[in-house]
Amino acid sequence: NTPTMKTPTPMKFSLLFLLLLPLMGAHQNPPNCGNSGSPCPLGMCCSRWGYCGTSNAYCAPENCVSQCLEPSPPPPPPTPTPPSPPLPPPSPGGSDLSDIFPKELFEKFLLQRNNQACPARGFYTYESFIEAAKA
């Protein structure tokens, strides 16, 4: 006893076609915005092809026909740095370097300057230091 194959009837083809029809149209995505449809959901741009989206393909100025994003304003110029406060005026009577660096301190810094073993002894004096600083 061999199994026989039945030939599909036109009714079965029709039923199969009706079941597959929604799937065939699902990947076509008809236009849904702009002149041919309704507005896009909030935050989406309508492209010149009639589709909603948020990328440059939808929102770039050359692609967008409605609900286009506003270009962001340029950043404000930087706040200028305030000028530095002026230096205080010199005290009346002037401050002399000898007030800041007295001879006793000079002698402590240069203890060996007048050492007998030093060939340059006597070369650098406190008075010459003050004169050089004033110049």
In a domain, 36, yes or no: yes
In a domain, 3, yes or no: no
pLDDT values of the chain reduced to their tens digit, one per residue, 135 residues: 566 656 666 666 666 666 665 555 444 444 578 776 788 888 899 998 888 999 999 999 899 988 888 777 788 889 988 888 887 766 555 557 778 888 888 888 887 777 788 777 777 788 888 888 877
Report the C-alpha gap between 64 and 57 in whole angstroms. 8
In a domain, 13, yes or no: no
pLDDT reported for residue 21:
55
Q: What is the CATH number of the domain that holds 47?
A: 3.30.60.10
In a domain, 78, yes or no: no
Domain around 124: 97-134
- Tokens 């010199």 sit at which residue? 90
pLDDT reported for residue 91:
58
User: Do you know the residue count of the chain?
Assistant: 135
What domain count does the chain have? 2
pLDDT reported for residue 26:
42
In a domain, 42, yes or no: yes
In a domain, 127, yes or no: yes
pLDDT reported for residue 58:
92
- For strand 52-53 and strand 45-47, is the pairing parallel, antiparallel, or unpaired? antiparallel
In a domain, 86, yes or no: no
pLDDT reported for residue 62:
92
Please give the single-letter amino acid code of residue 79.
T
pLDDT reported for residue 7:
61
In a domain, 85, yes or no: no
